[in-house]
Every structure is written in structure tokens, then in C-alpha cells.
Amino acid sequence: MAVRAMQEATFMILTALANGSQHGYGIIADVQEISGGQVRLRPGTLYTALDRLRADELIGVDREEVVDGRLRRYYRLTPAGTKRLAAEAARLQAHATVALTRLDPAGGMAT
């Protein structure tokens, strides 16, 4: 059975976590940075996605700590999450290669 393409926000969250465990605000900031400001996650969107990714066992809780009286939870990629992110990155790269080749078979960019 083929695996569905990942939503952009999911791909970006997993990509942010590929660099190590992070808490929610860190993920939001990292996603914005690595997307060049094109993807801006709202907290509600992020935490809904994190719950879904935990249920799918693509991420897990790394640790929790209390900061200024509030619980801060850090998330990390699981081995399954790493494998799924790598597969999605390869899929996207293959599609991009085909598109760029079709734009200009001679190797330059189409105008």
C-alpha cells in the first residue's frame, strides 16, 4: 500500500525535529526559519499536529521541564519518524528532479 504524501506543515515539523528535540515554540520558530518565512505555524495547528504525530508514533516526548511555572514538553523524532521523513524528502526530490528536467532538457532553466 502506498504511503500518502505528507502535508507541508507535517513535513516541516518533522524536518525541524530532525536536528534534535525541541519544545513547541522552538518548533514554530525553526519551521519559520527553515521555510524562509513561508510557513508560519499557529500554536493550535502545531499542537494538533504534534498529537497526531505522537499517535502515529512518528514523534515522541523526549523530556518535560517546568519553566516559569509552566510545563515545557520537548519532542523528538522516533526511528519511524526519521524513516518516514527520509522517504518523503526522497519523494519530493524525485518529483522536483523530473519537473526541472522537463522544464529544460538541456540542463538550464526554462525562460
Q: What is the pLDDT of residues 38-95, one digit of tens each?
A: 999 999 999 999 999 999 999 999 999 998 999 899 999 999 999 999 999 999 999 9
pLDDT for res 12: 97
End-to-end CA distance of the chain: 39
Question: Which CATH class for the 8-102 domain?
Answer: mainly alpha
Q: Which residue has the cell 525562460?
A: 111
39: left (phi over 0), alpha (psi -120 to 50) or beta: beta
Q: Which residue has the cell 508560519?
A: 40
Confidence of residue 109 (pLDDT cuts 50, 70, 90): low
